[in-house]
Every structure is written in structure tokens, then in C-alpha cells.
Amino acid sequence: MPAIAHRLKQIHTQIHAAEQTYHRAPNSVQLLAVSKTKPVGAIISAYQASQRHFGENYVQEALLKQQELGAFDITWHFIGPIQSNKTKVLAAHFDWVHSVDSLKVAQRLSSQRPDFLSPLNICVQVNISDEDSKSGVNLEELPDLISQISDLPNIKLRGVMAIPAPQHNFALQRKPYQKLVAAVKALPNEQLTTFSFGMSDDLEAAIAEGSTMVRIGTALFGARF
Ligand SMILES: *Cc1c(COP(=O)(O)O)cnc(C)c1O
């Protein structure tokens, strides 16, 4: 079996094991394959092994790949930092944007979403590690932003996304996710059902705390250089 297909299978096995261990419903955790910096051939290998959802961080790189892969039935997710001069391209070329962290960006995505496409799925990125350098809104700002975004016409607010500071201890990995899920569940918005968190190094902790979409790059495609 080719390496990527083999790793994909291992990751699915890990996800299913974690679902069982932490009493999550079977198949409640989706796998987003993060293909940034990886060649189109790697995406095709994963696709041939049934992967359909791919995440990219860089707009230009993603557009080139999308062009080459036009004939493939891929759902494209944007997970990188958003510059406001890129919202038009994002609105036209992606199915999901996980990294919305301001009303301004959400408004632009909504007004720039082409009419012939269904509403753009978005997640609000939350900064759960209180690091100045990380993007995302603070938990305190989340309720207001969520209520303002919910009213926009051409986007569909699905949930939240987070990239915590790396931790190697399992209990410490779980902590910020626990706080985030509790805060989201306390909100009145019932459409917030996507919890986009968990990467190669903290997949199990993320599933233990309620992730519904883990974003996996390294464990699937190998190290990035
Ligand atoms: C690169 C990246 C990932 C994947 O990280 P790995 O550690 O390689 O699995 C997930 N989410 C975001 C936002 C990323 O930028």
C-alpha cells in the first residue's frame, strides 16, 4: 500500500479508537487533510484512498492546486491567516474558511460570496492560549462576534477553530480545548456544531474534548521542510 494511503488508514484507526475511548459517537470526528507545502501528487494519493476534505494555508498555493485538481471532487478548506485583500478570492474558491477572526472579514466574505455558490461555511478562530502572537479572538470577545456574524446572509456559521500553543503533556493539551468547548456550549447559538481542533501532535486530546474535525498534516503527508 502506498505510504499516504497507509498513514491515512492508521489515522482513521486512531480516530475511531479515540472516539470509543472517550465515548464519542462513532464517526463524529471528521478528518481534514492539511496539504500545505505538499505537492498535488500527495493530494491525489490521499484522494485515491478516499480522502475528500483538504485544508490549505496559503492562497496562491491553494489556487494553483485547485486549478490542477479541477476534475476532482474535493472540498477545500482555508485554514491560514486571512489578509483582508484576500477575502474575495477566498469567498470564490473555498467551501470552508476556518480562520475568521473579525466582523470585518466575515462581512467581506459574505458580501463577496458569489451568488451561484451555496453560503460559505465558516468557523471563528479563537485564541485559547492567550499568546499575543497568535491570531484569533479572545473567549471574552466570542459571544458578540458570534451574534454579529450569525446575521450575515451568504455565510453559514458552523463553529469554532483553535490552534493552541504546543504542549507535550496530555492533560495540558486537553485543558484549553475544555475551556473552549464549555464557552461555546454556553452560547445560545445552536448552529455551532463544528469544533475544528486537533493536529498531528494532539489528536487524541482534541477528540477527548469534543473535536469534530481534526486537521492533520505531518502525520499524513510527512514533515514539512
Ligand atoms: C499546518 C497546520 C495544521 C497541521 O499541522 P500538523 O501538525 O502538521 O498536523 C493544522 N492546522 C493549521 C491551522 C495548520 O496551519
Domains parsed from the chain with CATH numbers: 2-221 (3.20.20.10)
Average pLDDT over residues 134-149: 94
Let me know the angle formed at the C-alpha of 140 by 134 and 141, rounded to the nearest 5 degrees. Answer: 75
Does ligand 1 come within 6 angstroms of the Cβ of 134? no
Q: Whose CA is nearest to atom 13 of ligand 1?
A: 79
Residue 134 pLDDT exceeds 70: no
Residue 57 alpha carbon, nearest atom of ligand 1: 15
Summarize the confidence of residues 11-18 as an average pLDDT. Answer: 98
Closest ligand 1 atom to residue 99 Cα is: 13
Kindly tell me if the per-residue pLDDT of 132 is higher than 80: no
Is the pLDDT at 40 greater than 60? The verdict is yes
Shortest-distance Cα residue to atom 10 of ligand 1: 215
Instruction: State the amino acid at position 148 in one-letter form.
Output: Q
Mutate to test the pocket of ligand 1, among 97, 215, 225 (most ligand atoms within 8 A of CB): 215
Please give the distance, rounded to the nearest whole angstrom, from the Cα atom of residue 68 to the centre of ligand 1: 23
- Whether pLDDT at 133 is above 60: no
CA dist., res. 115 & res. 22, Å (int) = 41
Q: Crossing angle, helix 40-48 and helix 59-68, to 10 degrees?
A: 60
Side-chain-side CA neighbours of residue 111 (13 Å) = 6
Which pLDDT score, from 0 to 100, does residue 176 have? 96
Atom of ligand 1 nearest to the CA of 219: 9
**Around Cβ 224, how many Cβ atoms within 10 Å?**
10
CB of 81 shorter than 6 A to ligand 1: no
Give 166-183 pLDDT, tens digit per residue. Answer: 999 999 999 999 999 999
Average pLDDT rounded to a whole number, residues 106-110: 98
In terms of Cα–Cα distance, which of 118, 106, 176, 115 is closest to 147?
Answer: 106
Determine the atom of ligand 1 nearest the C-alpha atom of 201. 7
Distance CA 199, CA 204 (A): 9
